[in-house]
Amino acid sequence: MPLTQKLTLAQFLIEERQRHSDAADDFDNLILNIAVACKQISRAIAFGALAGVHGTDGVVNVQGEQQQKLDAISNNVFLSINERAGNLAGMVSEEMEALYQIPEQYPRGKYLLSFDPIDGSTNIDVNVSVGSIFSILRAPEGVVDAVTENDFLQPGSKQVAGGYAIYGPSTMLVLTVGNGVNGFTLDPDSGDFILTHPQLRIPAKTQEFAINASNSRFWEPPIKRYIAECLEGEAGPRGKNFNMRWVASMVAEAHRIVMRGGVFMYPRDGRDPSRAGRLRLLYEANPIAFIMEQAGGYASTGTQPILSVQPSAVHQRIALIFGSKEEVDRLESYHTGQSPSSLPDPLFRERSLFRESA
């Protein structure tokens, strides 16, 4: 049924700015430019094989992964739309080893953008939902010319916005600017993102978990304990039956959890002791953690809140557990030996960009 009042993303940002007069136009424009990039990527995905976006391009990216054609296409879309708008001092992408400097012919702004242009791109060929993830930080004072890696090495608690677009049966943009989480659906007729899911909240309890069970032989004892208890069902210590999900697209997993609850685990394991995890901190874990906490959930490494982690490199990997707060608290307690009730609250309870100078 059509909504009686259609609030576009642009109108939503204007209303937020009117309520908080210290917010800035350039921040709104940055969010809208990201939305434009997501629209273009959505269109390319919708054409699929007709547009030649399936398959690999023969390149191995900085992560050591085979780059899909859509990875490169989407990365270029993000760069070309955001480099010239005057809102950014620099960018970091999963698909590029080096920082992206704003070309000299374009003005520089006061924000930093980190993004994964296509999360789950190996699912494109089988028509499974994929997405784009992004994080926005303020650039340190005094950044005029080239940004440095150190400029981006800010903990997730410093984010001023985080979000993702999911390209599924419909395209949605899920966004937080520190004042809750809102979902916008792309209207294919008007080309606008329309507010359809205001103030999303994640149920504190769940009976659904997502993990790649093929890695079970490498899991650490706390994860093995948690999964074993879930699998025991009603007869076990949890006293209820659990369902397992695994899409191999973190955006799809995160979206399901935002919409109906659950817990996602990509924990540290024993395959490579030198790696703290598989997922990237700056442009995957941090924005998803920001969304989770703003929606009443929680995100942890297993031993500490994701948003408290001090990054050491722009492509740093990390263990990631997120979703319904009671389950993440339980998992954290298994790792730390503390009872869930004694664990600290998530970093974000009420925080908004619009309560600070943008």
Contact of 234 with 241, CB cutoff 8 Å: yes
What is the distance between the alpha carbons of residues 137 and 166, in angstroms, rounded to a whole number?
A: 22
| 175 part of a folded domain | yes
C-beta atoms surrounding 268 within 10 Å: 24
Q: Is 307 helix (H, G, I), strand (E, B) or coil?
A: helix
What is the per-residue pLDDT for 125?
82
Write down the mean pLDDT value for the chain.
Answer: 90
Is the pLDDT at 60 greater than 80, yes or no?
A: no
31 Cβ contact partners less than 8 Å away, ≥ 6 residues apart: 9, 13, 161, 175, 177
Is there a single domain that holds both residue 25 and residue 166? yes
**141, 169, 200: which is the final residue of a domain?**
200
Q: Is 34 annotated as a binding residue?
A: no
Is there a single domain that holds both residue 219 and residue 102? no
Is there a single domain that holds both residue 122 and residue 100? yes
Q: Can you point out the beta strands (E) in the chain? A: 56-60, 66-68, 88-93, 100-101, 111-119, 130-138, 161-167, 171-176, 181-186, 193-197, 208-210, 243-245, 263-266, 279-280, 298-300, 317-318, 320-323
Q: Is 149 annotated as a binding residue?
A: no
Is there a single domain that holds both residue 238 and residue 156? no
Q: Is 76 annotated as a binding residue?
A: no
Residue 281 CA from chain centroid, whole number: 10
pLDDT band at 58 (very low <50, low <70, confident <90, very high): low
Place of tokens 């004072």: 141
83-113 tens-digit pLDDT: 999 999 999 999 999 999 999 999 999 999 9
What is the per-residue pLDDT for 355?
43
Task: Give the closest residue to 122 by CA, choosing from 77, 49, 66, 72.
Answer: 66
pLDDT band at 348 (very low <50, low <70, confident <90, very high): low
Q: Is 187 annotated as a binding residue?
A: no
Higher pLDDT, residue 201 or 17: 201
Q: Identify the DSSP state of 282.
A: I
Is there a single domain that holds both residue 22 and residue 109? yes
Task: Give the closest residue to 201 by CA, choosing from 325, 343, 320, 344.
Answer: 325
Contact of 324 with 263, CB cutoff 8 Å: yes
pLDDT band at 200 (very low <50, low <70, confident <90, very high): very high
Is there a single domain that holds both residue 339 and residue 244? yes
**173, 200, 227: which is the final residue of a domain?**
200
Q: How many domains does the chain have?
A: 2
Is the pLDDT at 208 greater than 50, yes or no?
A: yes
| 358 part of a folded domain | no
What is the per-residue pLDDT for 68?
79
Q: Is 345 annotated as a binding residue?
A: no
User: What element of type H or E holds 19?
Assistant: helix 9-19
Place of tokens 């997993």: 253
Per-residue b or e along 100-130, where b marks 16 or more CB atoms closer than 10 Å to that residue's CB: bebeeeeebbbbbbbbbbbbbbbbbeeeebb
| 354 part of a folded domain | no
Is there a single domain that holds both residue 172 and residue 228? no
pLDDT band at 321 (very low <50, low <70, confident <90, very high): very high
Is there a single domain that holds both residue 176 and residue 81? yes
Q: Is 26 annotated as a binding residue?
A: no
Is there a single domain that holds both residue 194 and residue 246? no
Which residue segment(s) compose the domain that 270 sits in?
208-347
Is the pLDDT at 287 greater than 90, yes or no?
A: yes
Is there a single domain that holds both residue 113 and residue 149? yes
pLDDT band at 1 (very low <50, low <70, confident <90, very high): very low
What is the per-residue pLDDT for 340?
62
Q: Which tokens go with 240? A: 């209820």
| 357 part of a folded domain | no
Note the pTM of the prediction, 2 decimals.
0.91
